[in-house]
A and B are shown apart, each in its own frame.
Chain A
Amino acid sequence: MTAQTDASGKKLGMWLFLYTEIVLFGGLFVLYAVYFAGYTEDFIAGAKELDLFFGVVNTIILLISSFCVAAGVTAMQKANKNIALAGLVGALACGAVFMVNKYIEWGHKFAHGIYPGSDRLMDGPPGQNLFFGLYFVVTGLHGLHIVIGMTLLAVSLVLVTRQKITAQNNAVLDNSGLYWHLVDLIWIFIFPLFYLVV
């Protein structure tokens, strides 16, 4: 009779779950691919209206946050609790800054009359409606994932301070870290697709 003994299965389960997340965003990327092929000019025009500065800053922020998480996970494996906590706090701070930037960015778009169902998009060229429709849906869903990822990191943070996560028993931290890297990775694809189209 085999009982659950090792933690390697927890990691396998997490990888399987991450796979489903990739397919989830994959559905949206399929839509992007098809509409980009049909309305290339409109997509390029739409991308010019996005603020490249915010895009670049948010990309750098997420890369830093991923480094923080990776450093934290490695530190925990070496039983270095303080560095692990610092890494998690750093990643959470990056996540918060990312969301604030997103808020400002979306706010600017709304102020310019660009939001789903707005008059400007309804009456403008159909390709731009699709571009901004996809922009809001994809970055919105990604933002939701940032929030979920931050929740997981916060839970890990609490568990580390309470000594529930230790050098030997760190599956929760490991898996939260994996989730955060995935969220980061998805952004790495979103950024060029929306901000760097030429």
Chain B
Amino acid sequence: MTSFYQTPEPAGFAGIRSWLITFDHKRIALLYLFSILFWFLLAVTLGGLIRLELMFPGKTVLSAQMYNSVFTLHGVIMIFLFIIPALPAVFGNFFLPIHIGAEDVYFPRLNLLSWYLYMAGGIVAIVSLFSDGFPDTGWTFYVPFSISTNTNVSTAVFAAFILGFSSMLTGLNFITTIHKMRAKTMGWLQLPLFTWSLYATAWVQLLATPVITITLVLVVVERFFNVGLFDPARGGDPILYQHLFWMYSHPAVYIMILPGMGVISEIIPVSARKSIFGYKAIVASSLAIAIAGSLVWAHHMYTSGMSETAVFVFSLLTFVVAIPSAIKVFSWVATLYKGAIEMTPPLLFSLCFIYLFSVGGLTGLVLGAAGANIHVHDTHFVVAHFHFTMFGGTGFAFFAALHYWWPKMFGKMYDFKKAYIAAILVTAGFMLHYVPMFVLGLQGMPRRYYDYLPQYAAGNFFAGFGALCMIAGIGLMMVNLLASLTRERTAGTDDPWGGVTLEWTIPSPPPLHNFDKDPEVMDYPYDFTKVVAAGSGAASMDSETGK
């Protein structure tokens, strides 16, 4: 069976160049995978530098101006170049068409264009680094500072503008694909949950991204033409900028987390050999998160000077969003209950996800409550909270997805033992890194400050130490995964975990057109009776033990 790696090359486009003009969703997914991994590792390094700087009081490795640029760059890369595209662009591109029994996405050319826009956005961001210095505004580009600072805000904002387009076009493509290209026999309630989560995500991408586009355009217009739309001296209102910014950027956190939840909803039932608990509830909660999550943006602005009524309403809505998230957590745990659980590296990452995401979600309620928010606003508590949800959530879901689908994408299995060690190192480092930041925040240490009072020294030291453990774990994970690529193709990777969604019915790596014969769509996507009857176990193969 020839896989999509052996696609005939068009004349004059040999080797890597044939990849650069491909319309194959699987190849585009891999283009995304390696470019996204590059940005991720770069941003991890920058984050490590921030932590190293804060590990000891006073100047350690960075100057103050450099520190401002580094935390801005860390945020911009992690958000626009890693977390937003990571799961939809890599795993969505690769598995969404396969999950619905299709040959490709509906707009394959648009798909390649999205990747080029993504790369262009990344390059523009890099260019701004070397021209007038990267912005020191933080990734939120708040006015009036973003309009008055001398650093190169315009270029960085333009980069985010291009990346927004890329993300929007991917969303548009996915919605059309899911509507128009499902296998004839596949109804909406036979879709795998990962596909459902991508569907909800795509709607948020379409709903919200144009708002950030116009907001960023306005920042550039203000910088070049000095219109004064946000300048209070000339009648403007800087709070309006914050509203417009968060109207996109809060829904954007659901663009980040929803696909992650979808990944976990795939891995948990497969690892437990048990149908997912509450399929419809999970679908409904994805859509509920997409809708309610679009209505809570101003909870970032309790201290900005909004009316009391607005604070009350947004606080209430914020609590409402917690409900669908909790439904998912309970469904995952209930799926595991009395299941025939077989531990695998993707499951371990998924379990860590559930724990870390729950902590992130619950601390979100502390921040969502208007009273408590005043105390911890703009402190390290906030930083710890969103790293628990974004990194402990989406980041760990990304790791889980990498380990879950790696054998399908490459036909090669990684070493389990190293994967477990990496997972434990990353999780332990994570806890040591961010838990002290909760405490520091409650004690009043502000975020984004270059230096701090002596009483915060111990917490910052532990956080820095945890960051180092975490980076070591990520390094081990990457080495372990990439090392597997140099090996011979492993046998038995077609369905190593005992999964039943459509991607596990085809060879690994998949053939060019995904399905050589029409796929058989099951009445219910999580029916494990056949897998249990055959007794084929998850993790029945490991590249080291070679079973």
Contact = CB atoms under 8 A, between A and B. Distances in A.
Interface of A: 1-4, 6, 8-9, 12-13, 16-17, 19-21, 23-28, 30-31, 34-35, 38-39, 116-117, 121-122, 125-127, 129-130, 133-134, 136-137, 141
Contacts of A3: 102-104
Given A24-B213, A137-B227, A1 B179 contact: no
Nearest to B221: A137
Given A12-B175, A27-B247, 13 more contacts: A1-B102, A1-B519, A9-B176, A13-B110, A13-B173, A26-B211, A27-B211, A27-B215, A31-B229, A117-B228, A125-B235, A129-B234, A137-B218
Query: 8 closest A-B pairs (Cβ-Cβ)?
Result: A126-B235, A27-B214, A9-B180, A23-B210, A117-B226, A133-B227, A24-B210, A116-B225
Contact of A23 (B172, B207, B218): B207
A17 B210 CA distance: 10
Contact of B244 (A9, A27, A136): A27
| Interface residue SS majority, chain A | helix
A172 to B, nearest CB: 13
Interface in B351-380: none
A126 B229 contact: no
B103 A137 contact: no
Contact of A1 (B173, B183, B229): B183
A165 to B, nearest CB: 18
B206 interface: yes
A13 B237 CA distance: 36
Contacts of A20: 168, 172, 206, 209-210
Interface string B156-177: 0000000000001000110110
Interface string B81-103: 00000000000000000001111
B179 A12 contact: yes
B513 interface: yes
A142 to B, nearest CB: 13
Contacts of A30: 240, 243-244
B154 interface: no
12 contacts: A3-B102, A20-B172, A24-B213, A34-B237, A35-B235, A116-B227, A121-B228, A122-B228, A125-B235, A127-B235, A129-B234, A133-B229
Contacts of A31: 229, 240, 244
Nearest to B107: A13
A170 B517 CA distance: 32
B181 interface: yes
Contacts of B247: 27
Interface string B363-402: 0000000000000000000000000000000000000000
